Structure 1
């Protein structure tokens, strides 16, 4: 076998393996094969460190940044569970939350007292996020009083300042050019809003699909007919969003929305893209909230949106809610998104991979 250094961190409500780019093969195909060996190739991921779930089958590849305005470059790699392949199309805001701690722990960034700002270039999309981390006496602080839904207990906050993330993957906030589109599905036509403010998402009204939007994730995952109808719309939307054939891609995510019931601004059930998320992804939540704030979207009459150019919005999901602050300019364009995550170092050491024959 061969060994490579690694760290495993919980980032937000996900868990991933973090590597220095210099510890992985330079060749992209060889790098991806090493990552598959590390996380696991089969549906159980029995021969790797993955948890047989999309939320625990994630990888961050980090290096010193080639951009003078950033400290580190971060490539997100999603291992597609059970399909023996990876996808580097999307970003992941949860795994991003652990990048700052990893960069400091691995010596890429020098910590300062009492806080450190780590400027991250998300190389999947070319966007930037500045991570504000508590580092008393130059050491990453993991314990704290900040709680986020989907994670037990409390931890030190990681403040994420996303800059100019509109059109992260598709090139436009509204990749179809419309606030509202209609796509033909298996059993009729569906109105949707296609949005990309950090993550390509198709926002749909839950009652259009014959569900309330308040079901738990297991109930939705066990509804094969519902998932087939959602996938039919996803394939049409992917082409319209300039993503091409998305059959084997993890974007766009699909989000069913309903009126809020727990004091938030909208209720959500997100498919990533075929399994219903037990919570909601960071950038997925930002995109959904942005769609709800746009006049003429399918969220009209469903979401409750405050006035003003700076809006604090809460997206309800199966295990709680996700809050963020969106800042708009006078023309209505999104300037930035700010939100709070937490992260914790779980393990570090050597990860063993099978040695490939020459």
Structure 2
């Protein structure tokens, strides 16, 4: 056989999709693993024509699962963001949308047994050490994908997957505010650098002469904006202690504007070299935390909620997403305790994916 065969599930998780793999079926060293994932996805071509990627950042994501040795977790979830065209793999971030499929995939793979009615799967996000409880619908001990839950960016409805994110603060940089400041000014742009579930650089859309209501396509065509944004992001990455982030998808970038469709605030999220068609689950938590924290760039855009946990509705390019944030506000400052979201997932295919044996022989 001239190719190496690797078992996989192909799943939609939230508003992303990609292969879900057993970590034991893959090479241990990251350099070889990166080459395997590049070949699998077909990175290096805008259509990923020689792989199973979909030609967009939300469809070139990979989840790798294993039984966890952590006292709390059932499953370890190792995430990889594979670039569409640049043959790059970033193991630094995690992805909350793909995480929506981790619970169902772990059950389908036999890594955890399903219970009757519903199954709680405790997940350790290896990349950031976040802990997430996922409640999966399992009537009669089998994963159910049919249901009435609807999320913007995905057609139709499906069974809900309830996610509760814990210990997400400082997962990459070690700090809630990696620069130590609520606001930094970079190239004349006021930004808040924050690390909750995902390290982000957050600014007001108006700082870039944008409304914040532009479509993803309109923003992607605005090369002048991207040039300014990337310059700010690179300098912010250094200030956040992340070094040279030229080839890293983190920190991500977010824009805020006043809500106009009944939500809490209007947002746009960047991956970072294209606008997300909807919203990342991790990014949603960071943006919601920014909105709730006094003294950030979000001040003046919204009326601060008084309830706790606070329901924050982020308007995005395809609709909205709700985040329920449990927090503590004290003399020591603002603290995020946990964040809850409802997502959906669906198994699309299962079987084997093949890569050239010259990339990895499977041993």
- The TM tier, using the shorter chain, reads over 0.9
Contact 1:266 1:304 in 2 (8 A): no
Separation (CA, whole Å) in 1 of partners of 2:352 and 2:304:
48
Specify the SS of the correspondent of 1:338. strand
Separation (CA, whole Å) in 2 of partners of 1:303 and 1:176:
24
1:100 and 2:103 equivalent? yes
Separation (CA, whole Å) in 2 of partners of 1:303 and 1:47:
46
Separation (CA, whole Å) in 1 of partners of 2:92 and 2:67:
21
Separation (CA, whole Å) in 2 of partners of 1:226 and 1:330:
35
Contact 2:8 2:350 in 1 (8 A): yes
1:142 and 2:145 equivalent? yes
**Aligned Cα RMSD in Å?**
1.1
Kindly report which structure 2 residues correspond to 1:60-139, keeping only aligned pairs within 5 A, or say none.
60-139=63-142
Shift of 1:223: 0.7
Contact 2:43 2:53 in 1 (8 A): no
Q: Which residue of 2 aligns with 1:217?
A: 216
Separation (CA, whole Å) in 2 of partners of 1:309 and 1:239:
34
1:288 and 2:287 equivalent? yes
Shift of 1:208: 1.1
**What is the TM-score with the length of structure 1 in the denominator?**
0.97
Q: Which residue of 1 aligns with 2:266?
A: 267
1:25 and 2:24 equivalent? no
Shift of 1:309: 2.8
Q: Which residue of 2 aligns with 1:8?
A: 10
1:351 and 2:353 equivalent? yes
Contact 2:129 2:171 in 1 (8 A): yes
Separation (CA, whole Å) in 1 of partners of 2:28 and 2:317:
40
Specify the SS of the correspondent of 2:206. helix
Kindly report which structure 2 residues correspond to 1:218-257, keeping only aligned pairs within 5 A, or say none.
218-257=217-256
Separation (CA, whole Å) in 2 of partners of 1:226 and 1:93:
27
Q: Which residue of 1 aligns with 2:177?
A: 174
Specify the SS of the correspondent of 2:279. coil
Kindly report which structure 2 residues correspond to 1:165-204, keeping only aligned pairs within 5 A, or say none.
165-184=168-187, 189-204=188-203
Equivalent residues, number: 354
Separation (CA, whole Å) in 2 of partners of 1:200 and 1:341:
21
Contact 1:74 1:121 in 2 (8 A): yes
Shift of 1:127: 1.4
Separation (CA, whole Å) in 2 of partners of 1:282 and 1:150:
13
Separation (CA, whole Å) in 1 of partners of 2:240 and 2:83:
22
Shift of 1:330: 4.3
Contact 1:92 1:281 in 2 (8 A): yes
Separation (CA, whole Å) in 2 of partners of 1:304 and 1:201:
22
Separation (CA, whole Å) in 2 of partners of 1:305 and 1:249:
33
Separation (CA, whole Å) in 1 of partners of 2:135 and 2:221:
40
Contact 2:255 2:267 in 1 (8 A): yes
Q: Which stretch of structure 1 is more off in the superposition, 21-30 or 346-355?
A: 21-30
Shift of 1:65: 0.4
Specify the SS of the correspondent of 2:93. coil
Shift of 1:303: 2.6
Q: Which residue of 2 aligns with 1:319?
A: 318
Separation (CA, whole Å) in 2 of partners of 1:303 and 1:221:
27
Shift of 1:41: 2.2
Specify the SS of the correspondent of 1:130. strand
Partner deviation per Cα, 1:77-108 (whole Å, 9 max, x = no partner):
00011111100111100000000011000000
1:161 and 2:164 equivalent? yes
Separation (CA, whole Å) in 2 of partners of 1:147 and 1:320:
11
Kindly report which structure 2 residues correspond to 1:321-336, keeping only aligned pairs within 5 A, or say none.
321-331=320-330, 332-336=334-338
Shift of 1:25: 1.3
